[in-house]
Structures are given as C-alpha cells and as structure tokens.
C-alpha cells in the first residue's frame, strides 16, 4: 500500500518542502497495552525512523519533529529521566544510519536544560551528521514557541540598544531571522498524531500558512503509509495564502 501511495505522490509532483510533526500519543499507546509510559516513548523511537525514511523517499527537504516541550519538564522525574536516556540511546543507535542516508540533524530548543551527557550526545549528533544533503532533520527538544519568539524579541532589543538596528528596521523578516528555524523555509504541512486538535505552543510564528493534517494514529503506530497519506491530502488542497483563486 505504501508503495502505491508513493507512486501517486510522485505523479502529483507537488511535495511539501518542509513538514513539521507533533508526535503525540506515546502515553496513550502504552496505557492501552497496560505498559509503563516510558515503553510508549521507546516505541515512538521506531516511528521516528519511519518518518525520516518516508520523508526521504517522498522528496521532502526538511522534517521538523516536536519531541519534548519546555512544559514537559513538569512531568514526573522518572519519566523525564527515561526520556533523556532514550534520547542518548536513539543517538547512539541511529547516528550512523542517519549519516549514511545523508540526513543533517539539528536540535532546536533550550539545550542548556539538558543534562551534560545529553548535551554531549546532541552535539555529537549534529557534528557527525553535518553536511548531509538529502534531508534536514530538526528535532525540537526543550522547545517552546513562545520562548523562541521572546528570545527573538530580546535579541532585537539588544541590537537596538547597541545601535546595530533602528526600531523602524524591525519587521517580519528581522524577527524571522532570529528564530531557531532561520535556515529553513516555514513548514508547508503540519501533521499532528493522536487526533488532538491543537498546536501546543509549537512553531506559532512559522505555522502561519501551513496546511494542518490531524490523524488519529498514535505516534508509535506512525508508518510510511501515514506520512504518505498526509502528503496526498496536502496535494489535494489549494493553498491561497490569503489571495483569491482565479
């Protein structure tokens, strides 16, 4: 089935250049199976590989995954500890494969809150995958969009105070240039798993004109087919960016 969907995507031709994903449902996946929550997060690691490989096959240039929000630091300490261990395990297991597939990985968010071992693993992941040209993979960890926009405002204020910038020079382009996602065009498509219909403080600025695709699939059950179905739905839509069709 996945191969048939991929063939249809290629026939249509219009593939979203940048896809963002809110990876939701790990806890519910585990609960339905009477498993501890960390087991849901572990199962979700496999879905990351599915999403990456499917994005490469479809010709997507940028994939941005929402892995861990700033608000998630309020979760129980044992769950946070398990998540950080999984992060290091994921990097250890997947780094070589990501590099071989031409994936460049960037971690976006306030990494100062990560434990030293996790920070070191993230730095190694970014350094060892630098130069990949098939896919830019952004993993948002300790990320908050409001905090990101606040940071951009602070940077602008500092530049004004230093005389580098005049207040009248501050426009949308100046703000966008100070966001974590500056190197990449805004997402064309946002996928949210688990059926929840909210964006949860994720890429608030960048999602202004993104197409939204909500799927009831829980993140650990996400497959190539799920991504291809989302792309096909995107291809059926008309993107007007506030304009009127002629």
**Residues 6+ away with beta carbon under 8 Å from 131:** 104
* 186 is known as an active-site residue: no
Q: How far apart are CA 184 and CA 187, in angstroms?
A: 9
Burial class of residue 219 (count of CB atoms within 10 Å of its CB; 0-12, 13-18, 19+):
buried
* 171 is known as an active-site residue: no
Look at the chain and count its residues.
246
The single residue of 26, 72, 169, 186 carrying the catalytic annotation is: 72
Phi, psi (rounded to 5 degrees) for 154: -65, -45
The single residue of 24, 186, 188, 221 carrying the catalytic annotation is: 24
Catalytic residues: 24, 72
């Amino acid at each position: 089935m996945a191969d048939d969907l991929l063939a249809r995507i290629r026939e249509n031709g219009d593939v979203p250049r940048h896809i963002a994903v809110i990876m939701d449902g790990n806890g519910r996946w585990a609960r339905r199976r009477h498993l501890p929550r960390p087991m849901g997060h572990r199962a979700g690691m496999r879905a990351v590989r599915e999403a990456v490989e499917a994005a490469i096959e479809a010709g997507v240039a940028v994939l941005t995954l929402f892995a861990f929000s700033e608000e998630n630091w309020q979760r129980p300490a044992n769950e946070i500890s398990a998540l950080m261990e999984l992060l290091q395990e994921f990097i250890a297991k997947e780094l070589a494969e990501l590099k071989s597939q031409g994936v460049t990985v960037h971690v976006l968010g306030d990494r100062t809150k990560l434990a030293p071992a996790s920070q070191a693993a993230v730095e190694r992941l970014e350094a060892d995958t630098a130069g990949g040209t098939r896919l830019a993979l952004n993993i948002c960890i300790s990320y908050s969009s409001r905090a990101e926009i606040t940071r951009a405002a602070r940077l602008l204020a500092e530049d004004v105070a230093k005389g580098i910038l005049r207040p009248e020079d501050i426009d949308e382009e100046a703000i966008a240039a100070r966001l974590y996602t500056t190197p990449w065009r805004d997402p064309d498509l946002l996928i949210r798993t688990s059926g929840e219909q909210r964006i949860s403080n994720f890429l608030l600025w960048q999602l202004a004109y993104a197409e939204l695709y909500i799927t009831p699939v829980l993140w650990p059950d996400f497959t190539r087919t799920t991504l291809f179905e989302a792309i096909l739905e995107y291809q059926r839509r008309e993107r007007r960016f506030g304009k009127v069709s002629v």
